[in-house]
Structure 1
Amino acid sequence: MRFRLILVALAVLALVALFAWQWSFGWTPEPARFPVQGLTVSAIDGSVDWPTVRARGADFAYVTASQGTQRDAAFETNWNGAHVAGLRHGALHAFSLCEPTADQVTTYLTTVPREADALPATLSLDFSPDCTARPTRAQVMTAIRGFLGPAEYHDGRPMMLRISPAFEDAYRVSAAIVRPLWGTRRFFEPDYLARPWRMWQANPARRIDGVERPVAWSVAAQ
């Protein structure tokens, strides 16, 4: 009898976990508190039906332009698609600690068009499994500033910094470089940055009609 009760309890827990897992794919912060919400996309997300995405509540899109020295294969398609659908959009570069800053700058500058009505571009700072390099903080600050200088000159405005908790913990970027901040924390507002966040990536894997795979979903601060 006791063994049967344990099996029933485990089955209930499994069902609860499955429900929570499925629920998480649809979760977004309350629109009443955060009315401006949108997504980040790259080639790995597959094809995007931009009119459908907009109809399902996206107010903006950040389109991955480059990662390290590699152009995102879907950048031009996604950039133009978001524009045609009437979504405000900006470019994102994922910074690499394993590739020369000058080469990353070249990739970014030759990929992202200069458009006055685009959202401020974003420099994404996070660790990746394919890069084990861990330079000193001084070296990282120099590299980031070396990217921001020419990229911001090209764009004509400051970039936003999207900083992961692990990267911030290692290098304390938000205290050293004053730019608009984009925090990342699932379900709970980020509290690890040195200054208030401008954007919050609240769900790294939200399912939304119009995109083949779950996408990162973010909100703007009020």
Structure 2
Amino acid sequence: MRNRLILGALAMLVIAAMVTWRWSLGWHPDAARFPVQGLTVAAHDGTVDWGMVRARGADFAFITASSGTTRDPAFEGNWNGAHAVGLRHGALHVFSLCEPTADQVTAYLTTVPRAADALPAALALDFTDGCDARPTRAQVLTAIRGFLAPAEYHDGRPMVLRISPAFEDEYRVSEAIVRPLWATGRFREPDYLARPWRMWQANPARTIDGVAEPVAWSVAAP
């Protein structure tokens, strides 16, 4: 009898976990409060049906252009695809603490075209797999500024800084570099930055028709 009760309880836990997981894949912040919502894509997300993505509620897209010194092979197709359906779009670079800043700048500048109608570009700051380097705060801030200067000259406007909680905790970037901020926080509105955020990555893995793999889903501040 006791074993049956234990097995029954475990089965209920498994079912609850599956329901929660399925709910999390489809969750996004309330559109009544956050009417402007969109996604981030990269090559690993596969082919994107941009017309379908827009029809399913995306107002904008950030398209990964480069990660460290590596150019994203899907950037041009995604950039042109978003443009073709009239979806507002901007470029994103994933910064690396393990690769030379100058080489990262080259990867970014040789990938992203000048486009007056594009959204301001974004710089993603986080600790990444395979990179254990932890430079000093002064070194990291210098490297970030070293990337921003030529990238912003190329784009003609300030970049948005997407800063993870762990990266902010280690380097306190938001209090040192004044740029529009893009916070990350799964399901809960974040409050870890030194200044109010302009964007919030609310679900790092949302399923949406038009993209084969779950994508990071963000909203603009109301």
Provide the C-alpha distance between the structure 1 equivalents of 2:106 and 2:9, rounded to a whole number of angstroms: 57
- Post-superposition CA distance 1:106-165 (Å, at most 9, x none): 111111001111000000000111111100000000000000001000000000000001
Q: CA-atom RMSD, angstroms? A: 0.5
TM-score, structure 1 normalization: 0.99
SS in structure 2 of the partner of residue 187 of structure 1: coil
SS in structure 2 of the partner of residue 173 of structure 1: coil
- Structure 2 unaligned runs (5+)? none
In the other structure, the counterpart of 2:198 is: 198
- Post-superposition CA distance 1:191-221 (Å, at most 9, x none): 1101000000000000000001000000000
Matches within 5 A, 1:68-217: 68-217=68-217
* Structure 1 residue ranges (4+ consecutive) displaced by more than 2 angstroms after TM superposition: none
Provide the C-alpha distance between the structure 1 equivalents of 2:79 and 2:194, rounded to a whole number of angstroms: 32
In the other structure, the counterpart of 1:49 is: 49
* Identity rate, percent: 78
Provide the C-alpha distance between the structure 2 equivalents of 1:166 and 1:85, rounded to a whole number of angstroms: 36
Provide the C-alpha distance between the structure 2 equivalents of 1:13 and 1:109, rounded to a whole number of angstroms: 50
TM-fit CA distance, 1:6: 1.4
SS in structure 1 of the partner of residue 183 of structure 2: strand
- Structure 1 unaligned runs (5+)? none
AA at the equivalent of 1:7: L
TM-fit CA distance, 1:2: 1.9
In the other structure, the counterpart of 2:58 is: 58
TM-fit CA distance, 1:97: 0.5
Provide the C-alpha distance between the structure 2 equivalents of 1:58 and 1:39, rounded to a whole number of angstroms: 7
Residue 25 (str. 1) matches residue 25 (str. 2): yes
TM-score, structure 2 normalization: 0.99
- Post-superposition CA distance 1:153-191 (Å, at most 9, x none): 000000000000110011000010000000011000111
AA at the equivalent of 2:112: V
AA at the equivalent of 2:54: R
Provide the C-alpha distance between the structure 1 equivalents of 2:100 and 2:13, rounded to a whole number of angstroms: 48
Provide the C-alpha distance between the structure 2 equivalents of 1:8 and 1:87, rounded to a whole number of angstroms: 49
AA at the equivalent of 1:155: D
SS in structure 2 of the partner of residue 123 of structure 1: strand
TM-fit CA distance, 1:99: 0.6
Provide the C-alpha distance between the structure 1 equivalents of 2:126 and 2:17, rounded to a whole number of angstroms: 29
Provide the C-alpha distance between the structure 2 equivalents of 1:130 and 1:211, rounded to a whole number of angstroms: 26
TM-fit CA distance, 1:4: 1.1
AA at the equivalent of 1:125: L
